[in-house]
Amino acid sequence: MARREHITQFPHCDPRVLHAPEDNCEFCNEHPLWQELRKAWGIAFTGHSYDKDGKLFELDHGWVQQPCPAEANRGMKSIDGWHGNICMTPERIKASDEYYDKLCKEFHEMYPDEDYIDDDLEIGGES
């Protein structure tokens, strides 16, 4: 199996998922070079492959934009069905954090003697 030497982590669980800069995904927007390459290569961003009629978008000079590899393979329902692939806007991150905090509070109310959930845990980083 080939070893990845230069890419230590992709923005999402599915490495083919890459959201457009205007989608405001905090994870994908940390990779502006990848976003520029998608544009230069004529490959659609995740969620931007097809028009309302299910056809690929045309680019300048009559070229056809290639679909997002993840979207072409799995479809958006499957991609968005896994939390690790959705577009993580600041609003979604806030909602996710609030939901997690609520779950922790409910857990501690139900099981006051249990301490194996770390309230200071930061998802994706060190606490």
Q: Could you report the per-residue pLDDT of 17-31, keeping only the tens digit for each?
A: 999 999 999 999 999
The torsion angles phi and psi of 120, rounded to 5 degrees, stand at -95, 5
Amino acid at 20: A
Q: Please state, in angstroms and rounded to a whole number, the distance separating the CA atoms of residues 96 and 17.
A: 20
Total-model pTM: 0.73
H-type alpha helices, the chain:
32-41, 69-74, 76-80, 90-110
CA-closest candidate to residue 124, choices 45, 22, 13, 29: 13
Domain boundaries, the chain: 21-88, 90-127
Residue 100's contacts (CB-CB under 8 Å, 6 or more residues apart) are: 123
Percentage of residues in the chain with pLDDT exceeding 70?
86
The tokens describing 24, both together, are 């405001």
Q: Could you report the per-residue pLDDT of 95-118, keeping only the tens digit for each?
A: 988 998 898 888 888 888 766 555
